[in-house]
Structure 1
Amino acid sequence: MAQWLLLLVLSLPLTAFLYAVEVPAGLLMGPLLVGMIVGMNGGTIRLPGIFFFVVQIVLAMMIAGMVSPSLVDTFAVRWPLFLAIVLSVIFMSTLCGWMITRAGVLPGTTAIWGSSAGAASTMLLMAGAYGADVRLVAFMQYMRVAFVATLATMIAHFGGHQSISDRSDTIFGPFDAQNFALTLAVGIICGFAGRRLRIPAGAFLAPFAVGSALSLTGALAVELPQWLLAISFALLGWNIGLGFTRQILRHARCAFVPTILSIVALLAFSGLLAVLLVWMLGIDPMTAYLATSPGGLDSIAVIAASSNVDISFVMALQTARLVIITLVGPIIARFVADRA
């Protein structure tokens, strides 16, 4: 209980400051940074699974309410380009893992699974079944997510991409209770269905898909109060930050530098893809960068929702990446691991 209290006390002032200076996704980044500090200084608390399940549902319905008809059109018209980008990111991340494995920095095939750009939970399960060191895989996956979220937030802030939404709305502003209840009902039912059907990232993708369809047809007016979104962002940040435990960091000392280098290489490659998107399609750089960023989907969704970007384009490419890498990522990782 004392650790949770410390986490809350430290998070409130930092998050309030980031929100006040209009840092995109400040409600996420404040708790994430504090979670990292607590975790690296001996914190043993973890976000209960049911809370993370609810967070995924809330974020999925939030994005569903922002989706416009252009998302479907964007994917239908540009699917060859999206496929090429996703496969390029998978190739680059696999290459980084293969090089670390061949260099003998990490034991066995750990680097192959840890370098996979996305579907972290799937990669952790596959890594354990394949005999890799799950602790190091978790370290590499969490480190990449933290890097991507931090860099994207900094680019959005200093690049002048603050959200154009009316920030005069208070956290505890009024909301439509009936639409809120319907939104939660759809999200919870679809979230449980997604998990029950064993859909990859089903707790996020199932509510997102159904909520988007209902919102686009006008059957559902997505309503989520600001206080619930703020809590969800904070819980997501804590969930990522608390993953950086002292035990994992101690275990990963030998892999720290190679992991950072591989993440930087992957981010640079994603940035190059973003430049190509800007040149080929004429979209704004921040939209291109968020769309090509290598995970995680939930944190990128929060940053996109907090920034002045084309969220339909970002979510179309990010969803395609998650689905494709979940389906073929483990196969590619296993294939490369056998030959590494």
Structure 2
Amino acid sequence: MPRHLSKLSRHSFSDCHVAIQWTILLICSVMFITFLEIIHLSAALLLGAMCAAILVAVMEGSIRVPRWPFMLAQGVVGSMIARSMPLPIIKEMMQEWPLFISGVFSVIVASSFLGWLLVRWRVVPGTTALWGSSPGAALTMTLMAEAYGADVRLVAFMQYLRVVCVAVVASFVAQIWIGGNHAPPAIVWFPSLRILPFLETLMLIGITTPLARILRIPAGAILLPLGLGVLLQDTGWLSIELPPWLLAISYAFVGWSIGLRFSRAIVLYAARSFPRILGSILTLILLCGGLAMILVKIAHVDPLTAYLAASPGGVDSIAIIAASSPVNMPFVMGMQTVRFIVVLLTAPTIAKFLSQRK
């Protein structure tokens, strides 16, 4: 009888009007996001929306995010990443490029090896483990993975489990090092808006989104505004203006799009793989901690700066923690940014190369 009632419940929810399903998704999203914001978890907007969408998908909801809102949301995210790469960070990278490159490639080699082990042990299928193990650029790797044929749902599961683990461990380390409770500042959702830069930013997104579709560039909806935004911003032609409310909407659309692709079967599969995936993530965090000790000896930076610089992503969570800590911010963001760029450029090649040697 309970099985019959469960079956009826799932059938009833899938038959609900789409307006009711969207309302449930919105309510659940607000609840998850509020909880994650209360505990000061970075990427709460994205993760909260994704968790709510997974819940709706497991209940066999039938709603989906339309293609164009999803692509425009990716354009906003790409512009946001471009805004976080100003000239001071680039100058910091140029001055100490041997140190940055060696540190970055050490993390990439370690994460790629752990991903290859997951592939070899058949923890997750195909190249999914390699994309899911990429150290940083969680959202971009998730979006790019789909374009290269990996299971975007499992990639998202692996990437955002890593984001949560890294954020929790890095916050814990920072609080131990400096003491006290350093919560991120409250978000002003509707600040005063610079109209012209905002319109120019919307124009960048509006031009690059259809262009990415026409040119069929893998993950072009996020990569085109990212690359063009960095170029225009650092040459003085564009000042990227993205109000928090627009980022919140975009993160929600991306989180919903990924989460609604889940199913009960894929959630059960991810649960069975959880111990080994978590073990891989914790191993990577420990290896990056060892790299931080080497940076302390070679670069003569303080341990907290070295640890945050070596942490395997994501850039946004580390930036929030670093901003509220007494660290060398350009060094931290320089290392994180270099790794982000290298991961973007090398991930497809690494995934293809290692998948042929499983």
Q: TM-score range by the shorter chain?
A: 0.7 to 0.9
Q: Is the 8 Å Cα contact of residues 103 and 310 (structure 2) preserved in structure 1?
A: no
Note closer, same or farther for the CA distance 1:263–1:152 as it changes in structure 2 (3 Å cut).
closer
* Percent identity of equivalent pairs: 34
State how far apart, in whole Å, the 2-side matches of 1:284 and 1:243 are. Answer: 41
Note closer, same or farther for the CA distance 1:210–1:114 as it changes in structure 2 (3 Å cut).
closer
Show the counterpart of 2:317: 303
1:339 partner SS: coil
Structure 1 window deviating more from structure 2 (106-115 vs 181-190): it is 106-115
Q: Deviations over 1:187-245 (max 9, x none)?
A: 33244445655655433343233333433444333322332122223333334444543
> Are 2:301 and 1:282 aligned?
yes
Show the counterpart of 2:206: 188
Letter in 1 for 2:164: T
Show the counterpart of 1:265: 283
Q: Is the 8 Å Cα contact of residues 35 and 237 (structure 1) preserved in structure 2?
A: yes
Structure 2 gap ranges (5+)? 1-17, 176-180
Note closer, same or farther for the CA distance 1:37–1:278 as it changes in structure 2 (3 Å cut).
farther
> Are 2:159 and 1:145 aligned?
yes
Q: Is the 8 Å Cα contact of residues 74 and 313 (structure 1) preserved in structure 2?
A: yes
Show the counterpart of 1:31: 49
1:98 to 104, 109, 116: 116
State TM-score, norm by structure 2: 0.72
State how far apart, in whole Å, the 2-side matches of 1:121 and 1:328 are. Answer: 15
Note closer, same or farther for the CA distance 1:57–1:317 as it changes in structure 2 (3 Å cut).
farther
Show the counterpart of 1:234: 252
Q: Is the 8 Å Cα contact of residues 65 and 256 (structure 2) preserved in structure 1?
A: yes
State the shift of 1:146 in Å: 1.5
State the shift of 1:8 in Å: 0.6
Larger radius of gyration: 2
State how far apart, in whole Å, the 1-side matches of 2:247 and 2:125 are. Answer: 41
Letter in 1 for 2:45: L
2:87 to 60, 64, 69: 69
Letter in 2 for 1:145: Q
State how far apart, in whole Å, the 1-side matches of 2:301 and 2:127 are. Answer: 40
1:147 partner SS: helix
Letter in 2 for 1:303: S
1:229 partner SS: helix
2:265 partner SS: helix
State the shift of 1:175 in Å: 1.6
> Are 2:73 and 1:59 aligned?
no
Letter in 2 for 1:338: Q
State how far apart, in whole Å, the 2-side matches of 1:145 and 1:82 are. Answer: 23
Structure 1 gap ranges (5+)? 129-133, 295-299
State the shift of 1:22 in Å: 5.2
2:221 to 196, 200, 203: 203
1:50 to 43, 49, 68: 68
Matched positions, count: 324
State the shift of 1:41 in Å: 4.0
Letter in 2 for 1:142: A
Superposed CA RMSD in Å reads 3.7
Q: Deviations over 1:79-122 (max 9, x none)?
A: 33333233323322332243344445566776556545563444
State the shift of 1:181 in Å: 1.0
1:282 partner SS: coil
Q: Is the 8 Å Cα contact of residues 59 and 204 (structure 1) preserved in structure 2?
A: yes
State the shift of 1:10 in Å: 1.6
Q: Deviations over 1:12-60 (max 9, x none)?
A: 2443454466554433343233334334443454433322322232233
Note closer, same or farther for the CA distance 1:16–1:110 as it changes in structure 2 (3 Å cut).
closer
State the shift of 1:184 in Å: 1.0
